RNA sequence: GUCCCUGUGGCUCAGCUGGAUAGAGCAACGGACUUCUAAUCCGUAGGUCGGGGGUUCGAAUCCCUCCGGGGACGCCA
């Protein structure tokens, strides 16, 4: 359950009732209710909740906001919310609601009952697919893929908690131009390593990883491929390489804490005729025309800046054509909503992709594209260009090796996807002990330590129903208040597609815990206080653990 | 040139549908370990929210404009 939401809704109802009563008694004149908010004020001196309704009504009611606020506060039926302690009119006309602190006493029982599900919202009955990373299987995973992975997986976790039915998907681009070039590169390297003096393709994949793959091929097949035709050889080596690369991607992402429900091969869209079929369909609908030998999709009809080629003059479909078929396939699989996590370098693709979905008769709003700004990699204070072709970048597997999965995931998701981030490798390595992730994990470990001490001392931990929470002080209540926020925070994270909020949330929660820990003792002479605090520690532990779980970060019992 | 993201204390960043006196962390300075782990805590200092207009009772947030940073504008993906 969501305690914040519960009180917010309750107060909203009280305000609406009070307004209607005021209108019936001719105290306030108005036609329509404004879209007012019940918010949590930044300053706790302004109450637990506050509403701006009076200011928004001033114009149509032709009354001073403070006057309206006063009438509303007098008309509110306090018997409908026993936790309501005090109502004040303040500032320009805010109505501030102060709750009796007892409203928080129900939180521990709720948290302990829900356990690892604490934070979950009501079932949304919506199937949502999150597609992320989807790196080309022609090279190593880079920092951009790493960020996309951390963001996508965290978002998927948050959506799951928020009550959606989530599937994670990786789209394997195992077809098309890039793959042809990949095949040519592999072929050239094979022949070169076998002693042939041939040119390497001009825009081929020059990275060391291609050479490594070819060495594996030679280890397995020696010179036995030399008799093949060029087409046969390319086909053979590219299949070998794709198998190896995809396995590498799966392993690396798995080590990064990411596991997919579906690995979708682009090739199947071509082989099954889905790409041709969707292009034919759009052609019949009049959304495709021919020009200069190529087939163009009229994305300008949907507000895009220019039309886009779907079938090249050489008869080969473009990546965009396959993507149209892919997205149709997604909707046909029954997803109510589809989320793609893309690098900002793909933003030009957004408009036409949404246009294509509209052209296919689907509501484009069912597709959300979360664009994340790119990662710049620094080493020794100098930018390292991220190019798959040069092979000079640091790969995701190397990053995990160097700074660890927990720090890497926390770091990538700590910033808003909108902000470009500089990843300084030297800093990440040198200062790994100062990484905020340790601050949070340490909180978890400290609480576990308290429980170890309690157990050693034979202290029995009671259930929430058996203890008196009114013995707690301000610091405990502040912690509880933060814990009560968790489901709301997840709901906002899901709604706004803002996974970084979870990282900030758990940092704040850990901060409140550390502060409490340094001022108060859990295990102490006052047994009633000890009982209440032990339960508070349990609820804190669960919340931190769940939040870290969403982030894909481990919650160690000892550090 | 057009489009997208961005500009908040020395540094890195938060800031939900506009709300009340703009918040953290790091760095700086000064304190706290006979007490459940000091990977922690407490305090001090530090800001024209890039500049300028506008809308509003109210703007870091919305609109216009200019400036700076990044990205995209391909029959690549």
- Assess whether A156 and A194 both reside in one domain: no
The nucleotide lying nearest A437 (C-alpha to C1') is B39
Taking the CA of residue A30 and the C1' sugar atom of nucleotide B42, their distance in angstroms comes to 52
- Assess whether A286 and A351 both reside in one domain: yes
Nearest to A298 by CA among A313, A310, A308: A308
The nucleotide lying nearest A415 (C-alpha to C1') is B13
Nearest to A343 by CA among A305, A369, A372, A319: A372
Nearest to A557 by CA among A446, A431, A425: A446
Contact A249, A137 (CB under 8 A): yes
Distance (Å, rounded) from C-alpha A415 to C-alpha A421?
A: 8
Encoded tokens for A459: 């202290």
Query: What one-character DSSP code corresponds to residue A416?
Result: -
Encoded tokens for A102: 């007892």
Residue at which a domain ends, from A99, A118, A151: A99
- Three-state SS at A204: coil
pLDDT digits (tens, 9 = 90+) for A189-224: 999 999 999 989 988 888 888 999 999 999 999 999
Residue at which a domain ends, from A342, A357, A372: A372
Query: What does residue A404 show for φ and ψ, rounded to 5 degrees?
Result: 90, 150
Is ipTM > 0.85 here?
yes
Residue at which a domain ends, from A240, A266, A289: A240
**A557 belongs to a structural domain:** no
Distance (Å, rounded) from C-alpha A519 to C-alpha A170?
A: 48
State residue A3's pLDDT score: 84
* Alpha-carbon distances, residue A126 vs A98, A129, A159, A334, A366 (angstroms): 36, 10, 10, 10, 11
Range of the domain at A233: 177-240
Q: Answer whether any strand B atom is within 7 A of the Cβ of A228.
A: no
Taking the CA of residue A323 and the C1' sugar atom of nucleotide B64, their distance in angstroms comes to 37
- Assess whether A76 and A168 both reside in one domain: no
**A498 belongs to a structural domain:** yes
Distance (Å, rounded) from C-alpha A466 to C-alpha A369?
A: 49
Is the Cα dihedral A513, A519, A525, A528 positive or negative? negative
Distance (Å, rounded) from C-alpha A282 to C-alpha A553?
A: 45
- Assess whether A301 and A411 both reside in one domain: no
Q: Find where tokens 């949330």 sit.
A: A505
List CB contacts of A176: < 8 A, sequence separation 6 or more: A266, A316, A318, A319, A322
- Assess whether A136 and A224 both reside in one domain: no
Q: Answer whether any strand B atom is within 7 A of the Cβ of A455.
A: no
Chain A 102-121, CB < 7 Å to strand B: none
Chain A 288-347, CB < 7 Å to strand B: 291-294, 305-306, 309, 312-314, 318-320, 344-347
Q: How many CB atoms lie within 10 A of CB A182?
A: 27
Taking the CA of residue A310 and the C1' sugar atom of nucleotide B75, their distance in angstroms comes to 8
pLDDT tens, chain A, 559 aa long: 688 888 999 999 999 999 999 999 999 988 888 889 999 998 888 999 999 999 999 888 888 999 999 999 999 999 999 899 999 999 889 999 999 988 899 999 999 999 999 999 999 999 999 999 999 999 889 899 999 999 999 999 999 999 999 999 999 999 998 999 999 999 999 999 999 999 899 888 888 889 999 999 999 999 999 999 999 999 999 999 999 999 999 999 999 999 999 999 999 999 999 999 999 999 999 999 999 999 999 999 998 889 999 999 999 999 999 999 999 999 999 999 999 999 999 999 999 999 999 999 999 999 999 999 988 877 776 777 654 444 557 889 999 998 899 999 999 999 999 998 888 877 777 666 678 999 999 999 999 999 999 999 999 999 999 999 999 999 999 999 999 999 999 999 999 999 999 999 999 999 999 999 999 999 999 999 999 999 999 999 999 999 999 999 999 999 8
- Assess whether A460 and A515 both reside in one domain: yes
State residue A32's pLDDT score: 85
**A115 belongs to a structural domain:** no
**A116 belongs to a structural domain:** no
**A381 belongs to a structural domain:** yes
State residue A428's pLDDT score: 77
Chain A 399-428, CB < 7 Å to strand B: 414-416, 418-422
Q: How many CB atoms lie within 10 A of CB A405?
A: 18
Q: How many CB atoms lie within 10 A of CB A477?
A: 15
**A106 belongs to a structural domain:** no
Q: Answer whether any strand B atom is within 7 A of the Cβ of A436.
A: yes
**A107 belongs to a structural domain:** no
Contact A355, A364 (CB under 8 A): yes
Distance (Å, rounded) from C-alpha A132 to C-alpha A249?
A: 13
Counting beta carbons within 10 angstroms of the beta carbon of residue A40, is it exposed (0 to 12), middle (13 to 18) or buried (19 or more)? middle
- Assess whether A163 and A89 both reside in one domain: no
Taking the CA of residue A307 and the C1' sugar atom of nucleotide B15, their distance in angstroms comes to 39
Nucleotides of B under 7 A from a protein CB: 2-7, 12-17, 19-21, 23-27, 32, 35-42, 57-58, 69-77
Query: What does residue A35 show for φ and ψ, rounded to 5 degrees?
Result: -85, 80
Residue A272: how many CA atoms within 13 Å on its side-chain side?
11
The nucleotide lying nearest A444 (C-alpha to C1') is B37
Residue A480, domain CATH: 1.10.730.10
Q: Find where tokens 């190896």 sit.
A: A244
Chain A 130-149, CB < 7 Å to strand B: 136
Encoded tokens for A27: 């105290």
Lay out the sheet containing A375-379: strands in order across: A382-384, A375-379, A421-424
Question: How many domains does one find in chain A?
Answer: 5
Encoded tokens for A109: 């029982």
DSSP A27-59: SS--SS-----EE--SSGGG-SEEE-HHHHHHH
Residue A314, domain CATH: 3.40.50.620
- Assess whether A469 and A530 both reside in one domain: yes
Distance (Å, rounded) from C-alpha A384 to C-alpha A394?
A: 9
Taking the CA of residue A421 and the C1' sugar atom of nucleotide B49, their distance in angstroms comes to 20
Taking the CA of residue A339 and the C1' sugar atom of nucleotide B1, their distance in angstroms comes to 32
**A109 belongs to a structural domain:** no
Composition of chain A by helix, strand, coil, percent to 5? 55, 15, 30
Write down the pTM of the prediction.
Answer: 0.94
- Assess whether A155 and A202 both reside in one domain: no
Query: Nearest residue to B32 (CA, C1')?
Result: A518
- Assess whether A48 and A32 both reside in one domain: yes
- Assess whether A414 and A440 both reside in one domain: no
- Assess whether A392 and A496 both reside in one domain: no
């Amino acid at each position: 359950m969501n305690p914040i939401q519960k009180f917010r809704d309750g107060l909203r109802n009280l305000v609406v009732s009070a307004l209607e009563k005021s209108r019936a008694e001719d105290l306030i004149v108005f036609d329509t209710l404004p879209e007012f908010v019940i918010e949590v004020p930044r300053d706790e001196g302004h109450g637990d909740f506050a509403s701006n309704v009076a200011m928004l009504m001033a114009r149509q009611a032709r009354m001073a906001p403070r006057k309206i606020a006063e009438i509303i506060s007098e008309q509110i039926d306090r018997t409908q919310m026993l936790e309501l302690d005090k109502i004040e009119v303040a500032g320009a006309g805010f109505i501030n609601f102060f709750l009796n602190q007892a409203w928080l006493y129900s939180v521990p029982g709720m948290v302990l009952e829900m356990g690892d599900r604490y934070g979950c919202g009501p079932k949304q009955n919506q199937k949502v697919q999150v597609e992320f990373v989807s790196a080309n299987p022609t090279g190593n995973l880079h920092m951009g893929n790493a960020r996309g992975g951390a963001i996508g997986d965290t978002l998927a976790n948050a959506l799951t908690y928020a009550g959606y039915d989530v599937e994670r998907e990786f789209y394997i681009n195992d077809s098309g131009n890039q793959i042809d070039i990949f095949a040519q590169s592999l072929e050239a390297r094979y022949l070169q390593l076998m002693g042939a003096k041939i040119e390497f393709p001009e825009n081929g994949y020059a990275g060391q990883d291609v050479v490594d793959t070819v060495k594996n091929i030679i280890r397995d097949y020696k010179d036995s491929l030399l008799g093949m035709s060029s087409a046969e050889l390319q086909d053979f080596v590219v299949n070998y390489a794709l198998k190896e690369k995809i396995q590498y991607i799966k392993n690396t992402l798995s080590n990064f804490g990411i596991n997919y429900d579906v690995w979708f091969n682009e090739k199947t869209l071509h082989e099954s005729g889905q790409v041709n079929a969707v292009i034919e369909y759009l052609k019949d609908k009049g959304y495709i025309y021919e020009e200069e030998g190529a087939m163009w999709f009229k994305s300008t009809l949907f507000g895009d800046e220019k039309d886009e080629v779907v079938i090249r003059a050489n008869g080969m479909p473009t990546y965009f054509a396959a993507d149209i078929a892919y997205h149709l396939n997604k909707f046909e699989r029954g997803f109510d909503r589809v989320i793609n996590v893309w690098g900002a370098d793909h933003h030009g693709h957004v408009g036409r992709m949404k246009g294509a979905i509209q052209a296919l008769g689907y509501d484009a709003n069912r597709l959300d594209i979360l664009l994340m700004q790119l990662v710049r990699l620094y080493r020794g204070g100098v930018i390292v260009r991220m190019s798959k072709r040069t092979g000079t970048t640091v790969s995701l597997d190397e990053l995990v090796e160097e700074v660890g999965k927990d720090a890497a995931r926390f770091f990538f998701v700590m910033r808003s996807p909108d902000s470009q981030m500089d990843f300084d490798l030297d800093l990440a390595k040198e200062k790994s002990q100062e990484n905020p992730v340790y601050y949070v994990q340490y909180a978890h470990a400290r609480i576990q330590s308290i429980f170890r001490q309690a157990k050693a001392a034979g202290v029995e931990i009671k259930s929430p129903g058996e203890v008196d929470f009114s013995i707690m002080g301000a610091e405990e209540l502040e912690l509880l208040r933060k814990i009560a926020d968790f489901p709301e925070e997840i709901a906002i994270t899901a709604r706004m597609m803002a996974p970084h909020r979870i990282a900030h949330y758990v940092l704040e929660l850990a901060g409140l815990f550390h502060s409490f820990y340094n001022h108060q003792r859990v295990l102490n002479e006052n047994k009633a206080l000890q009982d209440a605090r032990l339960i508070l520690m349990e609820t804190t532990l669960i919340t931190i653990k769940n939040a870290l779980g969403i982030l894909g970060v481990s919650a160690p019992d000892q550090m």
